[in-house]
Amino acid sequence: MKKFILKLIIVLAPILFFVVSVNYFGDAANLFSIGYEKKIADEIIKGNNVTNVYNYDERLLEKHLINNSTLCPDVLVIGSSRVMLIHSSDFQKQTFFNVGVSGASIEDLLAIYQMYEQKKCLPKKIILGLDPWTLNINNGQTRWMTLNQEYFILYTQLTNKNIVAKDERVDLKYFQLVSPSYFKGSFKKMILVSSKPIATNTKINNTFTKLVDGSITYDLEYRSASPDEIEKRAIGFISDDIYSIEKFDKLSPEIRFLLEKFIEHLRSNHIEISFFLAPYHPKVYSFIAKSDKYSKVIESENYFRDLGLKYEIEVIGSFNPNRLNMDGSYFYDGMHCNEKGIEKTLINEYK
Amino acid sequence: MLFNSLNFAIFLPIVFILYWFTTKGNLKLQNILLLVSSYFFYACWDWRFMFLLIFSTLLDYYTGIKIHEATNQRKKLFWLWVSIGVNLGFLGVFKYYNFFAESFAEGLSLLGFKANLGSLQVILPVGISFYTFHGLSYVLDLFKNRIKPERNFIDYSVFVSFFPLLVAGPIERATHLLPQILKKREFDYSKAVDGLRQILWGLFKKIVIADNCAEYANTIFNNSADYSGSTLVLGALFFTFQIYCDFSGYSDIALGTARLFGIELLRNFAFPYFSRDIAEFWRRWHISLSSWFKDYLYIPLGGSKGGMWMKIRNTFIIFLVSGFWHGANWTFIVWGFLNALYIMPSIVFNTNRTHLDIVAKGKYLPTINEFLAIWLTFSLTVFAWIFFRAANVTHAFSYISEIFSGSLFTIPHFPGIGKAVLVVFLTGIFLIIEWLGREQQYAFKIISNIRLLHFRVILYYAVILSILFFGNFSENQFIYFQF
């Protein structure tokens, strides 16, 4: 028995050592490289765009940006990656900042706003990017935990329920040291990519770029995909589980309650609100609309529109691209509009 | 808790160490520990269904004793039907109610009537088809006086709930598993090594082959209208290897895990894709289910007694029931029906037991005739899998009609085809290992024949590294968990 365990340890130890080393030094998501997000934030605060950035913690970056920037924007965009292409050029007469983060859930919306409130730097207007999964309790999003302190402060204030926040991200990050999926990304990064952030004046680069106004641009290759390639991306998007809207059984009453409280809170602070509903690629939307499984997507848009009516909030866009007269040429993939699509959505052609 | 998850990688060593170090060979403690671990394992899926599992266990435990104690055949039959009725009742409600309600309503609407029986918003409790069949085999064996009832509830519960087989089999028999549970287990070094080796092979099959093939099978099946016939053939092939490596990979992990605790489970797969006819395929695919249906359905129905017509009828019944067992969808029933059709020539000409040994035993290569027979059987199986995988029967027919169109002769194309070449290459390597190891209980066991320890270790490392570098770590659920 002891011989078995000893031999097993001897055989597995080198593998474990190899995996942990690659995960630590390759560090696909920059979990162990202290200050990666701060380096990006410092460049943006200096007035530069930053390119060659990979797998950083977007929440942590926004935290650095909000806490260290002197800018108090008139217009703030909060939402998921589906709003991250809204640029300051769309709002020329006002100061602007885009604090969108990938896969934003209700927790992110609250936490990011809370950071501005803590800083006593309230915007005049918030464009709130709402996605179907905002109302899905089973959306599987956990990345907001980076900002769980901020989230729970506002949550407690809005609901009068006291929850003690704990930094679960710290606990979770060490699991990645032995994670085989993290190993693949870390190894690839170690071999192929130098991820040192590069300050630049250009907006469009060979690698992903975080712009000085907080918005982003995709890398040149992703942007220049042919219509066929984009359609294939859209087909790929619906080929398996659809991002964050699987197990979407109901519009969560808890989230609806929280969202309404949040809106009331913003209004009490005299902040003008607009809802932004980013469209899906026509191929994706038609698949969603035909399937009973995803019926809550349409219900969630109806709910957002009712909410807009109730609180007299402007609703920009729609999950349905047909309502905006948008074909595949307005998209980069299954769920992200290109800049042309964002502009068209902002014009709000939906009647 | 999935076998291919970090949680299981933590759970298993803890239970293993507690089992061998703290119980010190005490059978009672060993079984209590196995039961607690199994219930914990199951509760990690959904603790609410624990009650169903415990109720089902209690029911069969109690009815088993009652059947044994019954003084006449009528009472025995009464308790047998209580057990069968309640067990199948649960299965019917959780798994089949919506299917029957919808099919009934559709049938009536064809006749011009409107009916709405409503649908149940229920989640299918994981493993229900498996533990229900465990319990049923126990009471049926008691009824037939093949075994005596187990009066120790803990020991009986371990038989039903032993965690390696709890959610997707193999479907065990009381005659095989209970005696092992009642016997004190001693640590056996070579069995433990063999168990680990089988777990490693199962993980390779699941993470490297099945989950990578799944990616392309899903892309192609979910958007089949967009693809050419040649691409659809590739999609069917990807699914063919996905389902085999997914389920047999699961079974390997289950058997290997059980062996770590000194328990041997029934073999579930024996290289089915090397079969020379469909009868042989069904002796090699999901063996524990096929033999369950044979023993508890085919033979009670009369089996092959009563002439050719009875034999044909009974064969169709077990294949249709077997299809239906997989899920409440007409696709599974058609799949079962197709397999019944395939096996008919063997039944009619009485050649269904021609190929009992593995193909080309003791040789490196099969003969041309054997190769052609394998190729034909494999092609028929791939064709039937289209029904198994399709969303519905209409989808299956449109998939097949597109295959047999002019586009069959175009170059296949789908998103990620470049990466798919690597998956095809890995599947090729896998098939070679399966072929070389086809006389073993599982292919990778062939490595134990290598005398040089260093060479064996290098091969272990090669498999581990290929899992790390080529594995798909999305922690995809095993297909058979849904059944």
Q: Average of pLDDT values for B372-383?
A: 97
Decide if B223 and A239 are in contact by the 8 Å CB cutoff.
yes
Check whether B396 has a pLDDT greater than 90.
yes
Do residues B254 and B482 lie in contact, with contact meaning Cβ atoms separated by under 8 Å?
Answer: no
Q: Looking at residue A241, what is its pLDDT?
A: 83
* Residue B402 CA from chain centroid, whole number: 30
* Residue B166 CA from chain centroid, whole number: 12
Which residue of B219, B220, B221 is the best one to mutate when testing the A interface, meaning the one whose CB has the most A CBs within 10 A?
B219
Lowest mean pLDDT among A108-112, B63-67, B327-331, B378-382: B327-331
Strand bridging mode A75-78 / A96-98: parallel
Do residues B202 and B256 lie in contact, with contact meaning Cβ atoms separated by under 8 Å?
Answer: yes
Decide if A178 and B6 are in contact by the 8 Å CB cutoff.
yes
Residue B356 distance to chain A (closest CA, Å)? 37
Interchain CB contacts (distance < 8 Å): A and B:
53
- Residue-wise pLDDT for B105-121, tens only, equals 777 777 777 666 565 55
Considering only alpha carbons, which residue of chain A is nearest residue B224?
A239
B68 is catalytic: no
Q: Looking at residue B327, what is its pLDDT?
A: 79
Residue B185, both tokens: 């287990």
SS3 A128: strand
What's the predicted TM-score (pTM) here? 0.77
- Residue-wise pLDDT for A276-287, tens only, equals 999 999 999 999
Residue A57, both tokens: 């913690």
Whole-angstrom distance, CA of residue A199 vs CA of residue A68: 18
Q: Looking at residue B475, what is its pLDDT?
A: 58
- Residue-wise pLDDT for A225-272, tens only, equals 999 889 988 988 887 789 999 889 899 999 999 999 999 999 999 999
Got the DSSP string for A166-193?
--HHHHHHHHGGG-HHHHHHHHHHHHH-
Residues in contact with B348: Cβ distance below 8 Å, sequence separation at least 6, in sequence order: B308, B312
Decide if B196 and A8 are in contact by the 8 Å CB cutoff.
yes
Locate the domains of chain A by residue range: 1-30+176-192, 33-161+194-346
- Residue-wise pLDDT for B266-278, tens only, equals 999 999 999 999 9
Q: Looking at residue B120, what is its pLDDT?
A: 56
Give me the residue label for tokens 């998007």: A237
Query: How many CB atoms within 10 Å of residue B46?
Result: 12
Among residues A6, A7, A94, the alpha carbon closest in space to that of A272 is found at A94
Which residue of B123, B216, B222 is the best one to mutate when testing the A interface, meaning the one whose CB has the most A CBs within 10 A?
B222
Q: Which of B326, B355, B413, B454 is catalytic?
A: B326
Q: Looking at residue B413, what is its pLDDT?
A: 81
Decide if A180 and B20 are in contact by the 8 Å CB cutoff.
no
Q: Looking at residue A92, what is its pLDDT?
A: 79
A272-277, strands of its sheet edge to edge? A96-98, A75-78, A125-129, A272-277, A314-317
Whole-angstrom distance, CA of residue B188 vs CA of residue B381: 39
Residue B471 distance to chain A (closest CA, Å)? 8
Q: Which comes out higher in pLDDT, residue A277 or A349?
A: A277
Check whether A167 has a pLDDT greater than 60.
no
Residues in contact with B222: Cβ distance below 8 Å, sequence separation at least 6, in sequence order: A238, A239, A240
Among residues A148, A162, A122, the alpha carbon closest in space to that of A268 is found at A122
Q: Looking at residue A166, what is its pLDDT?
A: 52
Decide if B196 and A3 are in contact by the 8 Å CB cutoff.
no
Query: How many CB atoms within 10 Å of residue A222?
Result: 17
Decide if B6 and A8 are in contact by the 8 Å CB cutoff.
no
In chain A, residues with a C-beta closer than 8 Å to the C-beta of B415 are 232-233, 235-236, 239
Check whether A219 has a pLDDT greater than 80.
yes
Q: Average of pLDDT values for A23-51?
A: 87
Half-sphere exposure of B243 (CA within 13 A, CB side): 22
Half-sphere exposure of B217 (CA within 13 A, CB side): 24
Whole-angstrom distance, CA of residue A176 vs CA of residue A19: 10
SS3 B310: helix
Cis peptide before A73 (omega within 30 of 0): no
A216-217, strands of its sheet edge to edge? A198-200, A49-51, A209-210, A216-217
Tell me the average pLDDT of chain A.
Answer: 90
A240 shares contact with chain B (CB less than 8 Å):
yes
SS3 A137: coil
Which residue of B12, B124, B223, B479 is the best one to mutate when testing the A interface, meaning the one whose CB has the most A CBs within 10 A?
B223
Q: Looking at residue B477, what is its pLDDT?
A: 60
A283 shares contact with chain B (CB less than 8 Å):
no
**Is the alpha carbon torsion for B1, B2, B3, B6 positive or negative?**
negative
Decide if B473 and A8 are in contact by the 8 Å CB cutoff.
no
The conformation of residue B31, written as its DSSP 8-state character, comes to H
Q: Looking at residue A351, what is its pLDDT?
A: 39
> Which range has highest mean pLDDT (A34-43, A239-248, B281-290)?
B281-290
Decide if B219 and A239 are in contact by the 8 Å CB cutoff.
yes
Check whether A164 has a pLDDT greater than 70.
no
SS3 A240: coil
- Please state which of the four CATH numbers 3.40.50.300, 3.40.50.1110, 3.90.1150.10, 3.30.70.980 is assigned to the domain occupying A33-161+194-346: 3.40.50.1110
**ipTM of this predicted complex?**
0.78
Q: Looking at residue B351, what is its pLDDT?
A: 87
Residues in contact with A277: Cβ distance below 8 Å, sequence separation at least 6, in sequence order: A130, A301, A304, A315, A316, A317, A318, A319
Check whether B482 has a pLDDT greater than 60.
no
Considering only alpha carbons, which residue of chain B is nearest residue A4?
B189
Decide if A239 and B222 are in contact by the 8 Å CB cutoff.
yes
Assign B476 a pLDDT band (cuts: 50, 70, 90). Answer: low
Residue type, A8: L
Q: Looking at residue A182, what is its pLDDT?
A: 86
Residue type, B66: K
**Is the alpha carbon torsion for A9, A15, A19, A21 positive or negative?**
positive
Q: Average of pLDDT values for A91-102?
A: 91
Q: Average of pLDDT values for B479-483?
A: 58
Assign B325 a pLDDT band (cuts: 50, 70, 90). Answer: confident
Decide if A19 and B468 are in contact by the 8 Å CB cutoff.
yes
Residue type, B41: F
Quote the Cα angle for A66-A70-A72, to 5°.
75
Quote the Cα angle for B179-B182-B188, to 5°.
85
Q: Looking at residue B111, what is its pLDDT?
A: 74
Strand bridging mode A96-98 / A198-200: unpaired
Report the first-to-last Cα separation within chain A, whole angstroms.
74
Considering only alpha carbons, which residue of chain A is nearest residue B416?
A236
Assign B71 a pLDDT band (cuts: 50, 70, 90). Answer: confident
Assign B430 a pLDDT band (cuts: 50, 70, 90). Answer: very high
Residue A240 distance to chain B (closest CA, Å)? 6
Assign A45 a pLDDT band (cuts: 50, 70, 90). Answer: very high
User: What percentage of chain A reaches a pLDDT higher than 90?
Assistant: 68
Chain B interface with A: residues with Cβ < 8 Å: 6, 17, 20-21, 187, 189, 192-193, 196, 215, 218-219, 222-223, 226, 415-416, 457, 460-461, 464-465, 467-469, 471, 473-474
Quote the Cα angle for A159-A161-A163, to 5°.
125
Among residues A275, A271, A277, A276, the alpha carbon closest in space to that of A313 is found at A275
Got the DSSP string for B39-89?
HHHHHHHHGGGHHHHHHHHHHHHHHHHHHHH-SSHHHHHHHHHHHHHHHHH
Check whether A169 has a pLDDT greater than 60.
no
